[in-house]
Amino acid sequence: MSVRILVSDPLPEGAVAILRGTPGITVEERRGLSEPELLPLVADIDAWVVRGATKVTRRLIEAAPKLRWVARAGAGIDNIDAAAARERGILVLNVPGANAVAVAELVFGLLLALFRQIPAADASLKRSEWAKARFQGRELRGKTIGILGLGKIGRAVAQRARAFEMRCVGHDPLLSEEATRALGVEPLPMEELLPRSEILTLHVPLSPETRGMIGAGEIARLPRGAVIVNAARGGLVDEAAVLEALERGHLSGAVFDVFAQEPPGGSPLVQRENVVATPHIGAATQEAQEAVGEEIVTLLLGKLRESGAIGESGPRTATPSRNPAHKKISR
């Protein structure tokens, strides 16, 4: 009997081809559907592949009696009701490291844009202005960057920070001091990291424990003129507290790729000149999307084989990522 897999968000063609080329699997691609539209589709599926757009709600999980696997092509699983899945014994899969290079590169793209006022300078020149004197910037070299979370993305950030000759301090309760130092990062508890961080960047998952982990109190402990970076998950940082700190000059700037509410609408935070913001594009590179797609379908197929849902024939592994850097960074 064929294993039915629903793919409800865009996946690279190569990843879908791997699924379709595996004996014993039937794939249905249906994108951009609302919860009511998904309800009849999930009634007979065994596995479900999503990215960030599809919300795998309790209602949908309860409407899918055969569902055993939900595979998230990406890092965060906050669009999946993990508690409901756990109650049903559904395995939730994700690939948190496949987009590490893309996110780390965006962090520094955003920081350079802020420190060198690149968006404003570009807009000025496009207005046929030549206002060199207005755009004196700052360098990253010599700055201390505090990294919260030293998984694959945090490590990729640290690697690039060292290339900019920055000082790296970090905090990750899952990593030993020895392992942290091996990354070229000075391990510090949160209470010591914050006053040292001229730039604070977050690379942790969103959970009940981490939601709002950087609020007014934490921001107050940063040195005056510090910069906050959130390219991880909306909700980790109290955006209202960041706005207030920017308005009174305690923070000199901020960069955001993610927001508590997406899209953020007319948020006054994104309107400020000393804020550089992008619409959740951290993983939006061709290389990262290929890697994410290939890795999640390979992981899912492995679980299907382990369970005996499909046989051992067919593709065993995905085509290696075309960007070798994706394979060099591991937790």
Say which DSSP state 298 is in: H
d(CA 122, CA 112): 13
Catalytic annotation, pick one of 37, 191, 262, 273: 262
The verdict on whether 280 is a catalytic residue reads: yes
- From the candidates 68, 72, 233, 326, give the one annotated as an active-site residue: 233
Q: Is 203 an annotated catalytic residue?
A: no
Beginning with the edge strand found earlier in the chain, give each strand of the sheet holding 25-29 in spatial order: 25-29, 3-7, 47-50, 69-72, 91-94
Distance between CA 115 and CA 166 in Å, rounded? 14
What is the rounded distance in angstroms from the CA atom of residue 316 to the CA atom of residue 327? 18
Residue with tokens 């990522």: 321
Residue of 72, 280, 294, 295 marked catalytic: 280
3-state secondary structure 38-90: HHHHHCCCCEEEECCCCCECHHHHHCCCCCCEEEECCCCCCCECHHHHHHHCC
Q: Two tokens at 120?
A: 């404003």
> Which residues have a catalytic role annotated?
233, 262, 280
